[in-house]
Amino acid sequence: MSESGTQLFPPFSLTPYFSPRIWGADSLAPWYEVPGQSGPVGEAWLTGDQCVVENGPCKGMALTEAVRQNAVAILGEGHEGETQFPLLMKVLFPREKLSVQVHPDDAMAQKYGDPRGKTECWYALEAQPDASVALGLKPEATQEKVAAAIADHTLEGLLDWLPVRKGDMFFVDAGTVHAIGPGSVLLETQQNCDLTYRMYDYGRPRELHLEKSFEAMQLKTQAGRVRPQQQNGLEVLIDVRYFRVERIVVKPGENNAALAKHKGQAQILFAASGAGKVTGEGFESVTLSRGRAAIVPAHAVAWQVSAASEMEIFRAVPQ
């Protein structure tokens, strides 16, 4: 039991879920080997509702079921009755352009019966020299100009395209019209929401959702590149409403004090390189290797990361 009387819960890892996408990659090497892959895969979901818990008391359960049965132990006080982990982390593998799209904010999502909207961020794990993303509309855009540009297939020209370099962090708040070009591998952290309104798809035959796109779209938003802040042995990549994402390097033999922050809060640990384990007393150690994620519950037993080789860890904390 923890001080508050809630049952303690050990850290656990999750099996990624691979989502086929027409704009994805035929191979996710060296990040992942997709069992039985027969077409392009665009996304590796690391903390999706359907990702399977690999160890601990909920071994074999889907994450959503583990949360439903242990909401307070995993998410903390005030989360009674929750059935979803609030943040969805994914790795994106765009090899073609993704559609131009927009996500609703909380208020719009709730109007249509969903619990939350989608604000997201992308960290560039890899980037080829010509990789780019589109974040928001150019200053001259108006509702009428956007509608006309969709009709005559020129919407790309109204978007604000930015080059992507390895190590860049981009903030994409709900309401931002956005797209991702080919040539990068992105670590996406987002509110756990599946509402995407497609505005424009370069003539591909997928369905568009224009009415809701225009309802969700904001002409001006906070989206853009975010500068990292150095803070006591870690790099704060972004710290906004809904999430905080940090980058931490852990070396073998080192007990990284920066990782001890956020004790008592649910968090996701993602390994972008190296290998190691999340260890502690009273639970079987949890392997963390490249491309894999573990969840440390709010009411976790004392834990630490032991690196077998130098690890680059990304931590996401819901807030």
Tokens for 49, please give them. Answer: 């509702």
What is the sign of the dihedral through the CA atoms of 60, 65, 69 and 72? Answer: positive
Measure the CA–CA gap between 181 and 175, rounded to whole angstroms. 19
Coil, strand, or helix at residue 65? helix
Active site residues: 198
Pair type for strands 267-279 and 229-231? unpaired
Residue 154 to residues 97, 144, 146, 150, 201, Cα–Cα distance (Å) = 15, 13, 9, 6, 11
First CA to last CA distance, the chain: 24
Query: Quick one: tokens of 254?
Result: 């080192």
The residue whose two tokens read 């006309």 is 148
C-alpha 249/C-alpha 306 separation (Å) is 12
Q: Give the torsion sign (CA, 227, 231, 235, 240).
A: negative
Cα 136–Cα 142–Cα 143 angle in degrees, nearest 5? 95
Two structure tokens written together for 125: 């794990």
SS3 assignment, position 36: coil
Looking at the DSSP bridge assignments, the partners of residue 8 are: none
